[in-house]
Structure 1
């Protein structure tokens, strides 16, 4: 997909569906949603929360409902685009004639109401246990300061460090990684913290 800098450009690039996308855009813009461009596609949000988005492909185009799982879908217009998506639902069309304006607007308004009610599917937090590799475990047993600092880290940060050591195939690499992370653990920072603040 070509990177675009505006919703107008997105519609222009998808010229085979430009009239239909313009129609859907006008319907959505008649509501209180704010229009923006995210992931090189039009996205419409309420108070910073994504509600719907427009998407165009070779054979079809449609509206993404970010928390579409909560829509009643009485007209059976929604599809789950991928097996792994839990909340996302899509309303697909193949031509402008397929668009029932009243139905589209009703679904968008219901999605807005659901967002106002705070209905959203939170990603599942997998309560993985932290498995400490033997190399790190050995050092923690002899270095009480490091052990205290490691225990003070969040489970997620502990897991990142453990996986970092465990993923090294050679013993020498494990040792090098251990030497690298020791001062970081003592400072109480996570392995990837410097990237998270960018």
Structure 2
């Protein structure tokens, strides 16, 4: 058996975790036996293989979860993977609300984790929707027509940043709200920044 190496940053994270501490510790125990490297990324325990992100563990209000970065590629033979929202393209979760459930599912979890590692070893990628497949709200299109430099700046953003803006602007039900959101973020787009930068 290889030496199990824990990351002190994850130790600290788990010490501060209030609601799901025991569940996350149980998940961690399983993950540490799966030849993954433990790190802290995006403020969450992240498990990598060959410096490639395989999965995260994290707590939410109603549940805690393992989030597979390329979960959409897993076969999901047990039908347990959850797509967080319709906008999430690649990641999938397995959700838990008790330590007992985690222990009961240990073998299944190891199967899914090993499959995720094999997907990474094979270099498989989730085919993401192209940004042209997303509909630009008409309020944004009319701003692009008014200010060609805004369109140029928007197109220079990474595809992920473009998608985040399109989703955020499109979520508003009223045209007035969409317009005010666009106006609020115009300078940020012109500065080459994403929605959350």
> Could you say which TM-score interval applies, normalised by the shorter chain?
0.5 to 0.7
Preserved contact between residue 57 and residue 66 of structure 2 (Cα < 8 Å): yes
Q: Does 1:31 align with 2:34?
A: yes
Gaps of 5+ in 2: 1-7, 134-143, 163-189
Q: Does 1:109 align with 2:114?
A: yes
Q: How many residue pairs are counted as aligned between the two chains?
A: 150
1:132-189 per-position Cα deviation (integer Å, ceiling 9, x unaligned): 968879xxxxxxxxxxxxxxx9x9449x9xxxxxxxxxxxxxxxxxxxxxxxxxxxxx
Counterpart of 1:15 (choices 1, 14, 18) is 18
Gaps of 5+ in 1: 138-152, 161-190
Greater Rg by CA? 1
Preserved contact between residue 90 and residue 128 of structure 2 (Cα < 8 Å): no
Provide the secondary structure at the position in 2 that maps to 1:42. Answer: strand
Which residues in structure 2 correspond to 1:39-188 (within 5 Å)? Answer: 39-99=42-102, 100-127=105-132, 156-157=155-156
Q: How many Å separate the matches in 2 of 1:51 and 1:35?
A: 10
* TM-score for the superposition, normalised by structure 1: 0.61
Query: How big is the shift at 1:126?
Result: 2.9
Query: How big is the shift at 1:125?
Result: 3.5
1:35-65 per-position Cα deviation (integer Å, ceiling 9, x unaligned): 1111110111122221110011232111000
* TM-score for the superposition, normalised by structure 2: 0.62
Provide the secondary structure at the position in 2 that maps to 1:90. Answer: strand
Distance 1:157 1:68, change over 3 A: closer
2:172 maps to what in 1?
none
1:81-109 per-position Cα deviation (integer Å, ceiling 9, x unaligned): 11100111000001111111111111111
Query: How big is the shift at 1:14?
Result: 2.0
Q: How many Å separate the matches in 1 of 2:50 and 2:191?
A: 29
Provide the secondary structure at the position in 1 that maps to 2:75. Answer: coil
Over aligned residue pairs, what C-alpha RMSD do you find? 3.6
